[in-house]
Structure 1
Amino acid sequence: MRKVLLPSLIIIAAILLVLRLFYLQIIDDSYKLKSDNNAIKIKYDYPERGYIYDRNGKLLVANQPSYDIMVIPRELKNIDTLEFCQLLDITKEDYVEKIAKAKVYSPRLPSVFLAQLNKSEFAAFQEKIRKFEGFYFQKRSLRDYQVNYGANVFGFITQVNEKLIAKNPYYNSGDLIGRQGVEESYEEVLRGIKGVKYYQKDKYNREIGSFKEGKYDTISVQGEDINLTLDAVLQEYGEELMINKRGGIVAIEPKTGEILALVTAPSYDPAILVGRQRSKNYTLLYRDSIAKPLYDRGLLAEYPPGSPFKILTGLVGLQEKVIDEQTTFMCHHGFSYAPGRFMKCHGFGPHQLHNGIYNSCNTYFANVYLRIIGKYSNTPFAVDTWSNHVKSFGLGQFMGYDLPTGKRGKVPTSNTYKKMYPGWGYSGKTIISNAIGQGEVLMTPIQLANMMATVANEGYYFTPHIIKKIQGQKIDAKFTTKHVTTIDKKHFKPMISGLFDVYNLGTASSLRVEGIDICGKTGTAENYAKINGVRTKMEDHSIFVAFAPKDNPKIAIAVMIENGGFGATIAGPIASLMIEKYLRNKITRTDLEKRILERSLQDRYAKLGGQSEAVKQEMRRRDSILKSKMIVPKIIIDTTKH
C-alpha cells in the first residue's frame, strides 16, 4: 500500500498541474493580457476629462484634442533621424535622450516620445508617420480654458512620473494627471475611465485583427462634470482689482461655507500651462522666487491678523464673563501694560465694547486680554482657555477644505510659551500682543474669511469648500456638517453692532456703499523683512474683513495686501467693491474702483529684491488693461518670447 501511495500522489499532482495549465493557456487566456506579450498589442482609448463650471453654470474649463507621439523602442527600424527631427523641430540630442529614456522604461512597451502636439503639428507628421516604424499617435484631450483667470483654483494637467506609475496601476507612461487646485482634488472624478483594446499581431509584428474578437475590450467613460462654488464674475473682478499688488482675497457664503472667490496675486493665465510649452512655462513660474505666482496666498500665506483679531478677543472676554457691554477702559492714546512701556492706540477717552470695536482701540482689547489671562491667575490653564475658544473658530489647524494645499496658521498655547520662556514665568503682560492680533498669532486669508463667516452666522460655520455639484454624485458630508464655536450666540449681537458702525462711525466710514449694510473691521499688521541681512521695518500689511448684508448675510470676505499700509487704504476698498459686485453685479463706488485699479505697489515690492519678469510683465500691461477695462490681469509669461 505504501509503495502505491507515493506514485499515486505524484500522478494526481501532475494531472492537476496539467489541467490548470490547460485552463490558463487554452480556456482562460486573460492572463496573456497581463503579461508583456509579444503577440498582443494594447491600445488605450483616453476619455475626455469632465468639464468644470461655476456656481451659475458658466463653462470655465473644457477640452481640446491633443496627440502624443508614442514610441516602442524594440520596433524602431531604419529611422531617418535627420528628417524625423526636422519634422518635429527637435535636435538630434533630444532624439537620442528621449529614446534612451523610453528604453529604460521598457523596450517592448509604448512610452511618450513627444507630448501634446496640436492639430497642425499632428497633421504635418501624420502624412509621413509610415516612414518611421516604431512610432505611432496616441490621441488624448487637453484642457481648453474658456477664461483667463482662476489658475490657482483650477490647477493644471501634467504627465505622471515613474514614481506614481509604480504606486498606482491605473496610470501608464504618458498618462495625464491633475496637479494643484480642483484638478488634483477631484482627479478621480474628472479623469473618467480609460478604454482598452487588444489586437493580435503576426510574426512580422503586423496587426491581424482583434484579440479574441474583442472579448476583453472595454470602452472609455468620460469624466464627470463638476460645478464649483466659485462665482466667475466675482473671481474675475477680484483678480482685476489685484493687478500690481500681492496678496489674497477669499470670499465665502456664510450659510453654506461655499467659496465664492479665491484670489491670489500675482497669478497667471492658465492657458500657458497647456501644450508643448507647458514645461518651459511652468519652470519660469516655478523659478520666480520674487513674485511667486504659483504660491496661493489665499491658502498658504500666514500673516499676523492685526486688528480683526480683536473681534475674537472681545467675544472670549464676554464668554468668560470678565467684561460686559458696559465695561469701560480709559484710553490716553496709549496703554501702560508694563512699567515704562506703552501700546499705541487710535482712540482717546472712555471705551466700551461698541466704540472699542469701531475705533479699533488697542487699549480696550489689551485690558480685556489681561482680564482673560488674569481670571485663572496667569496659570497655563489661562492661556489654554483663551486658545481653545479661538480654535473653535477653525483657527490654528488645517480646515479640511477640498483644495490640496494649505497652512495651519498659529494659535499659541501654554506649551508655546514654555518653549519660548524656559526657566521663568510669563504673564499676560508678556504676551499682550496677542490681544490685537500680533504676538504669536498667525492666520491665512481663508481662515480670516471663515472667522467672519462664523461671526455673520452668530457662532457656527461650515467647512469652506470649492465643490458645489458632481454629476451623479453627492458631495462629501463633511461640507454640510455644522461646526459650533464655544461662544454663546447671545454674545455675537453686540459684536456685530460694533462691526456695523465701523462703516458708519469708525475706521471704514469712507468705504460705505449706499443701500448695503456692511459689517467690517480694518487691520494693519506690522511687517519686517531682511534687506542686506538686516531686519528692516517695511510698510505694514493692509487687512480688511467684512460681511454683508448685516441681516441675513450672503458674503463674508477677507482681503490681505502685502505692504499695503493701513487697512482702509487698499484692502478696505477692495472688500467694499467685491461685496457690491456680488450683491448687485454692478459698481456705484466708481471712485473707489478707479483708485484701486490705478494703484500699483510695485515700487514697494522692488525694495524687497528687485523686479522679476512677472513684475515687469504686469507693469508693461497695466496701462492697456486700465484703458480697455478688459480683465487680462497677470499673464505673467509672454509666450511669444519663450
Structure 2
Amino acid sequence: MRKVLLPTLIIIAASLLVIRLFYLQIIDDSFKLKSDNNAIKIKYDYPERGYIYDRNGKLLVANQPSYDIMVIPRDIKDLDTLEFCQLLDITKDDFLKKIAKAKVYSPRLPSVFLAQLNKSEFAAFQEKIRKFEGFYFQKRSLRDYQVNFGANVFGFITQASEKLVAKNPYYNSGDLIGKQGVEESYEEILRGIKGVKYFQKDKYNREIGSFKEGKYDTIAVQGEDINLTIDAELQKYGEELMINKRGGIVAIEPKTGEILALVTAPSYDPSILVGRQRSKNYTLLYRDSIANPLYDRALLAEYPPGSPFKILTGLIGLQEGVINEQTTYVCNHGFSYAPGRFMKCHDSGPRQLHTGIYNSCNTYFGNVYLRIIGKYSNTPYAVDVWSDHVKSFGLGQFMGYDLPTGKKGKIPNSKTYKKMYPGWGYSGKTIISNAIGQGEIVMTPIQLANMMATVANQGYYYTPHIIKKIKGETIDKKFTTKHVTTIDKKYFAPMISGLFDVYNLGTASALRVEGIDICGKTGTAENYAKIGGVRTKLEDHSIFVAFAPKDNPKIAIAIMVENGGFGATIAGPIASLMIEKYLRGKITRTDLEKRTLERSLQDRYAKLGGQSEAVKLEMRMRDSILKSKTIVPKIKTDTTK
C-alpha cells in the first residue's frame, strides 16, 4: 500500500495541473487578455457624459468633442522632437518631462501625453501624425457649458489621479472624472460605461484585425441625464447681486427640501476649467488665497448666525414653558444680567415675543435664554436640553445633502463647556451670548436656510438636496423622508406672526415688496480677526433669513455677506430681490436692485490682505454687468497673471 501511495499522489497532482492548464489555455483565455500580451491592443470607447438640466428643463451643461494625444513610450521611433514640439506649441523640456512620466507609468501601455485638444489643434496634428510613431489620438468628450454661472454647483472634470487609478479598476491613466459639485456626487451616473475593443497585432506592431472576432468587445453606454433642483434664472440673479461681495446665498423650497439657488461669492466662469488651459486656470484659482473662488462659502463657511438665532431661542422658550406670548421684559438699550455685565441692545421699552422678534430685542431673548437654562437649575443637563432642541433643526451636524463638501457648524453642549470651564465654572449668565446667535454657535448658510425652511413648515424639514430627477432612476429616499423637530407645531404660529411684522413694522420695513407677504429676520454678527497678531474688531457680517409667501411658503432663503454691516443694509435687500425674482420672474423694487448691484465691498476686503487678480477683474467689470444685466466671466486666461 505504501509503495503505491506516493506514485498515486504524483499522478493525481499532475492530472489536476494538466486539466487546469488545458482549461486556461484552450477553454478560458480571459486571463490572457488581462496580461500584458504584446499581440493584443486595447482601445477604449469613451461615452458622452450625461447632460445637466435645471428644474425647468433648461440645458445647463452639454458636451463637446475633445482629443487626447496618447503615447506608448517604447513605440517611439525616429521622432523629430523639434517639429513635434512646434506643432503642439510645447517646449522640449515639457516634452521630456511628459515622456519620463509616461515611462514611469508603463513603457508598454498607453498614457496621456497631452490632454484636451480642440478641433483645430486636433486637425493640425492629425495631418502629420503618421510621422510620429508611438503617438495616437483618443477621442473623448469635454463639458460644454451653456451658462457662465453655477461653477460651484456643477464642479468640473479632471484627470483621475494615479492613486485613484490604482484603487478603482474602472479608471485608467488619463481617464476623466468629476470633481466637486454634482459632477463628483453623481459621477457614476453621469460618466456612463466605457466600451472596450481588442485588436490583434502582428510582429511589426500593426493591427491585423479584431481579437477573437470581437468576442470580448463591449459597447459604450452613454451617461444618464439629470435634472437639478436649481432654478437657473434665480442662480444667475443671485450671482449678479453678489458681484464685488463675499459670502453665500442658499434658497430652498420648504415643502420638498429642493435647493433653488446655491450661490458662493466670488465665483468664476465654469468654462475656464475646460481645455488645455484648465490646469493653468485651476492653479490660478487654487492659489488665490485672498478671494478663495474655489471655496464654496454657501456650504463650507461657518459664521455666527446672529439675530436669526433668536427665532430658536423663542421657540425653545415656548416649548419649555418658561415664557408665553404675553411674557414681558423691559429693555433700556440692553440689560444687566450679572454684576458688571451688560448686554447692549438698540431697542427700548417693554417687549413681548411679538415685538421682541420684529424689533430684534437682545434684552428679551437674553432673559428667555436665562429662563431656559435656569429651569434645570443651571446644570449641565440644562445646556443639553437646549442643545438637543437646536439640533432637531438639523444644526450642528452634517446635513446629508447630495454635494461632496460641507461643514457641521457648531452647537455647544455640556461637553463643550466642561472643556472650557473645568469643574462646572459657568452658568446661563456665562454663556448668554448663545441667546442671540453669538458665543460658541456657528452655522453655514445652508444650515441657516434649512432652519428657515423648517420654521416655514411649522416644525419639519426635508434634507436639502440638489437632484430633482435622474433619467430612468428614482432619487434617494432620504430626500423624501420628513424630519420633525422637538418643537410642537402650535408654537410656530406666534413666531411666524412676529417674523411677518419684521417686514411690516420692524427692522426690514424698508424692504417690503408690494403684494408678497414675506417673513424675515435681520442679523448682524460680530466679526473679529487677527491682524498683525492682534485680535481686531472688523466690520460685522450682514445676515438675513426669510421665507415667502407667509401662507403656503414656496421659498426659504439665507444670505450671508461678509463684512457687510447691518443685516438690512445688504443681505436684506438681496433676500427681497431673490424672493420676488423667484415668485414673479421680474423685479418691481428696482431701487433695491440698483443699490445692491452698485454696492461694492472690495475696499473693505482690501484692508484684510490686498486684492487678488480675480477681485481686480470683478471691479473692472462691474459697470458692464450693470448695463447688460448678465453675468460675464470673472476670470479670463488672457488677462490674469
- TM-score normalized with structure 1 length: 0.99
Q: Distance in 1 between matches of 2:264 and 2:628?
A: 22
**Contact kept? 2:613, 2:640, Cα under 8 Å:** no
Q: What CA distance in whole angstroms lies between the structure 1 residues aligned with 2:208 and 2:173? A: 25
The residue aligned with 1:588 is: 588
Distance 1:349 1:627 in 2: 47
What corresponds to 2:636 in structure 1? 637
Deviations 1:330-372, CA, capped at 9 Å, x for gaps: 1111110111221111221110000000000000000000000
**Does the 8 Å contact 1:614/1:637 carry over to 2?**
no
3-state secondary structure, aligned to 1:56: coil
Q: Deviations over 1:203-238 (max 9, x none)?
A: 111110000000000000000000000000000000
Deviation at 1:475, TM superposition (A): 0.5
| Letter in structure 2 aligned against 1:25 | Q
Indicate the residue corresponding to 2:518 in structure 1. Answer: 518
The residue that corresponds to 1:169 in the other structure is 169
Alignment check: 8 A CA contact 1:323 1:368 kept: yes
Aligned twin of 2:60: 60
Partner in structure 2 of residue 145 of structure 1: 145
- Aligned pairs for 1:613-624 within 5 A: 613-624=613-624
**Alpha-carbon distance in structure 1 between the residues aligned to 2:620 and 2:349:** 49
CA distance in 2, matches of 1:382, 1:630: 52
Gap runs ≥5 in structure 2: none
**In 1, Cα distance between the equivalents of 2:245 and 2:478?**
34
Structure 1 distance, partners of 2:80, 2:23, is 46
- Aligned-partner Cα distance in 2 for 1:479–1:28: 46
What's the counterpart of residue 8 of structure 2? 8
Match of 1:568 in 2: 568
Shift of 1:421: 1.2
**Contact map agreement 1:434 1:440 (CA 8 A) in 2:** yes
Structural mapping, 1:360-379, within 5 Å: 360-379=360-379
Whole-angstrom CA distance in 2 between matches of 1:472 and 1:641: 43
Contact 2:281 2:637 (C-alpha < 8 Å) held by counterparts: no
1:535 aligns with 2:535: yes
Residue in structure 2 matched with residue 462 of structure 1 by the alignment:
462
CA shift, 1:411, in A, is 0.4
Moved over 3 A (4+): 637-642
State yes or no: 1:559 paired with 2:584: no
User: How many Å separate the matches in 2 of 1:266 and 1:276?
Assistant: 24
Shift of residue 14, structure 1, vs aligned partner: 1.6
Q: Which moved more, 1:340-349 or 1:167-176?
A: 340-349
Alpha-carbon distance in structure 2 between the residues aligned to 1:146 and 1:279: 21
CA distance in 1, matches of 2:590, 2:181: 33
User: Offset of 1:21 from its aligned partner?
Assistant: 1.1
Residue 640 of structure 1, CA deviation: 5.3
In the other structure, the counterpart of 1:301 is 301
Equivalent position of 2:605 in the other structure? 605
Distance 1:478 1:273 in 2: 32
Q: How does 1:67-106 map to 2 (within 5 A)?
A: 67-106=67-106
Post-superposition shift, 1:505? 0.3
Q: What residue is the counterpart of 1:347 in the other structure?
A: 347
Deviations 1:267-312 (A, max 9, x none): 0000000000000000000000000000000000000000000000
Residue 290 of structure 1 corresponds to 290
Q: Quote the offset at 1:461 in angstroms.
A: 0.2
Residue 641 of structure 1: how far off its partner (Å): 5.4
| SS of equivalent residue, structure 1 residue 479 | helix
Map residues 194-273 of structure 1 onto 2, 5 A cutoff. 194-273=194-273
Identity, % of aligned pairs?
A: 89
Counterpart amino acid of 2:169?
P
- Distance in 2 between residues matched to 1:71 and 1:640, nearest whole Å: 33
CA contact (8 A) 2:272 2:637 kept: no
SS of corresponding position for 2:183: helix
**SS state at 1:449 partner:** helix
Q: 1:422 maps to which residue? A: 422
Please report how far the alpha carbon of residue 536 of structure 1 lies from its aligned counterpart in structure 2 after TM superposition: 1.2
**In 2, distance between residues paired with 1:629 and 1:531?**
37
Question: Mean Cα displacement is larger for which, 442-451 or 423-432?
Answer: 423-432
- Structure 1, unmatched stretches of 5+, are none
Q: Report the Cα distance in structure 2 between the residues aligned to 1:260 and 1:371, rounded to whole angstroms.
A: 38
Computed over aligned residues only, the root mean square deviation of the Cα atoms, in angstroms, reads: 0.9
Report if the CA contact (8 A) 2:255-2:462 is conserved: yes
Q: Partner letter of residue 58 of structure 2?
A: K
Normalised TM-score (structure 2): 0.99
Measure, in 1, the Cα distance between the counterparts of 2:433 and 2:106. Answer: 61
Instruction: Give the whole-Å Cα distance in 2 for the aligned partners of 1:23 and 1:8.
Output: 23
Match of 2:504? 504
Does the 8 Å contact 1:272/1:639 carry over to 2? no
Query: What is the Cα deviation at residue 181 of structure 1?
Result: 0.2
The CA deviation at 1:3 is 2.1
What SS is found at the alignment partner of 2:575? helix
* 8 Å CA contact retained: 1:68, 1:137: yes
Task: Pick which of 73-82 and 63-72 moved more.
Answer: 73-82
Aligned partner of 1:416: which letter? T
Cα distance, 1:257 vs. partner? 0.2
CA–CA distance in structure 2, aligned partners of residues 479 and 143 of structure 1: 28
Counterpart Cα distance in 1 of 2:416 and 2:509 = 38
Task: State the SS of the aligned residue for 1:324.
Answer: coil
When residues 151 and 252 of structure 1 are mapped into structure 2, their CA distance, relative to the original with a 3 A threshold, is same
Conservation of the 8 A alpha-carbon contact between 2:148 and 2:270: yes
Aligned to 1:322: 322
Deviation at 1:524, TM superposition (A): 0.2
Q: 2: CA distance between counterparts of 1:125 and 1:374?
A: 78
Shift, 1:24, TM fit? 1.1
Give the letter aligned to residue 637 of structure 1.
K
Could you report, residue by residue, the CA deviation over 1:96-124 in whole angstroms, capped at 9, with x for unpaired residues?
A: 11111111101111000000000000000
How many residue pairs were aligned? 641
Q: Which residue is 2:451 aligned to?
A: 451
1:397 aligns with 2:404: no
Q: SS of the counterpart of 1:217?
A: coil
Contact 2:151 2:270 in 1 (8 A): yes
State how far apart, in whole Å, the 2-side matches of 1:198 and 1:626 are: 57
Contact preservation (8 Å) 1:304, 1:525: yes
Q: Helix, strand or coil: the match of 2:595?
A: helix
Residue in 1 that maps onto 2:178: 178
Q: Over residues 433-452 of structure 1, what are the superposed CA-to-partner deviations in whole Å (9 max), with x where a residue is unaligned?
A: 00000000000000000000
What letter is aligned with 2:634? I
